[in-house]
Amino acid sequence: MPVIGVVKETLPGETRVALIPQSVGQLVRDKHSVVVQKGAGASASFSDDQYEAAGATIVPDAASVFGRADLLVKVHPPSPHEVTSLRSGSIYLGFLSPAAHPAIVRSLAQQSVTAFAMEYVPRVSRAQSMDALSSMATVAGYRSVLIAAQATGKMFPLLMTAAGTVPPATVLVLGAGVAGLQAIATAKRLGARVEAFDPRPAVAEQIRSLGATFVDMELPKEDVEAAGGYAKELSAEFLKKEQDAIASRLPKVHIVITTAQVFGQRAPILITSDMVPLIPRGGVIVDLASESGGNCELTETGKTIDRHGITIIGAVNVPATVPIDASQLYSRNIYNLLKHMYPTVDTPTQPDEEILKAACLTRNGMIVNEAVRALVEQGR
């Protein structure tokens, strides 16, 4: 019966926690033992008392969790120190971002840790409740609009006042996957006029159903949708046409939220440096793809900069700015995956089962995912 360990996240600025007390209670009712580092949930407003009441054992520091846990749950990929603290033969469950952290994946294999990456949970219907990428994208999409609303000098809704009419802000959302659709819905709720674009053919209808305008352009001739609903990398020829269509809209918009991603690749450039001054002064770009290189050529990851009177926000780790709900959603994803791994505490699911096989990056001292192995070897 594995002991599940929860540590306080160590990445600066990270406020989330991998399991909240409610999920700990469910695990304890399922007959698991859970050890939680003192203060692990504090920055997400979950107290040690709540964990204890849910049935967890509180231990004073991370070392005590590593000493006892057979299965460690985390939000962020482990630090080099955390990897070496993991016991050989133990299990890791959390995000791993192998492209950004190839050395960590290699060390996990060398340490004989069986590591499951949340971003590799396959996008099949029966794994939807474990899909942490979607949960975190939902939070980021919502928050991106509030970040823009704080940064702009304009109000979002149409206001008719005794001093005259204030026209609504116009928000352009580029990329309308999980984050983009949530950004559209949030901007609409705030009263903005919203336009959006995504090259996947099914998305135009989803954009319109949220009350936004689909920026009409000729869709790519090639097949744009990969397995799991992700977009494929598009041709340079299409991207140029897309940039031209976006450029024609920019003089009319106040806020641009960019969310376009291609799984495992650099994010496509949708707004070149030359296009930025087309936005009226006072405009705001929130680049949610900033951690994958950014959709705006001028974006500086993790920084807010001013270019040509436009504020460009290279947003990073946005879900950490909504720690209570982001932790709650992530914790439910982790619990559902644990429940899938251990339908009952003594009968683990076989490792060759579809969801577990897809999410597993290291096992028996080896990197078992071919694409990740190639990526790690490239980085040698």
* Residue 257 touches ligand NAD, criterion: CB under 6 A: no
- In one-letter notation, the amino acid at residue 110 is Q
Q: Which is nearer to ligand NAD, 63 or 227 (CB)?
A: 227
State the nearest-atom distance from the C-beta of 66 to ligand NAD, in Å. 32
Cα radius of gyration rounded to whole Å, the chain? 22
State the nearest-atom distance from the C-beta of 346 to ligand NAD, in Å. 30
CA distance 20 to 30: 16
359: its two tokens? 């999410």
277: left (phi over 0), alpha (psi -120 to 50) or beta: alpha
* Residue 293 touches ligand NAD, criterion: CB under 6 A: no
Cβ-closest residue to ligand NAD? Answer: 177
CA distance 334 to 321: 20
* Residue 176 touches ligand NAD, criterion: CB under 6 A: yes
* Residue 287 touches ligand NAD, criterion: CB under 6 A: no
CA distance 158 to 98: 45
Give me the catalytic one of 68, 87, 123, 307.
123
Active site residue 128: yes
Give me the catalytic one of 33, 37, 85, 134.
134
Closest CA to 330 of 68, 104, 121, 85: 121
* Residue 214 touches ligand NAD, criterion: CB under 6 A: no
Q: Which of 128, 209, 248, 349 binds ligand NAD (CB under 6 A)?
A: 128
Active site residue 134: yes
Report DSSP letters for 242-280, one per residue: HHHHHHHHGGG-SEEEE----TTSPPPP-B-TTTGGGSP
Q: Provide the 3-class DSSP secondary structure of residue 49.
A: helix
* Residue 207 touches ligand NAD, criterion: CB under 6 A: no
CA distance 266 to 263: 8
Only one of the segments 170-178, 297-305, 337-345, 364-372 lies at the binding site for ligand NAD (rule: CB under 6 A); that segment is 170-178
Q: Which of 134, 182, 186, 327 binds ligand NAD (CB under 6 A)?
A: 134
State the nearest-atom distance from the C-beta of 97 to ligand NAD, in Å. 14
Give me the catalytic one of 106, 107, 111, 131.
131
Active site residue 129: no
Q: Which is nearer to ligand NAD, 69 or 127 (CB)?
A: 127
**Could you give the residue numbers annotated as active site?**
123, 128, 131, 134, 230
